[in-house]
Amino acid sequence: MYEVELKVRADHETVREGLRAAGATHRGTVTQVDTYYDAPHRDFAETDEAFRVREETRDGQTTTRLTYKGPLVEAESKTREEFETAVADPEAARGILDGLGFEPAATVEKERERFGLDGYTVTLDAVTDLGEFLEVETEAEDIEPAREGAIRLLRELGLDADDQIRTSSLGLLLDAPE
């Protein structure tokens, strides 16, 4: 299964109007704190992989997930294999990672407002120190039709897929001038 995703910079107020007009379903707002890790056995920046612990807070409840993202599989989107699982004890997970030699590389914080539209999740991200973004994503076995549908959805919202950003929030944060 692949996570097919397109990301662009976007003014959230303008996009919310388009989402309302299109009949999108509001799915709520969450706060996410992602701690990305470097591996002791390979350089994820070189292999285009990511490994993180995500703490997500919704309505005062925090959940934690462990995620591995494989390298991008195509040039037209941010599509990659992704594996994710819930973590019952975040401190124990961090202890395991530390014991195995994984080291925290960076933290990305964001407020995410999610909508459902035409089988896609549309997310408005306000990323600390980076600004406002919109992501359109879905999970699919067949990448091309999923990507084409995401491009159509972007157009319907008045956005241009040619403005797509294939760099992750982590990559953008690490590349940002200090």
Residues forming the active site: 36
For tokens 């002791």, what's the residue? Answer: 40
CA distances from 59 to 28, 56, 144, 176 (A): 9, 10, 36, 31
Amino acid letter, residue 51 = F
Buried b (16+ CB within 10 A) or exposed e, 130-151: beebbbbbbebeeeeebbebbb
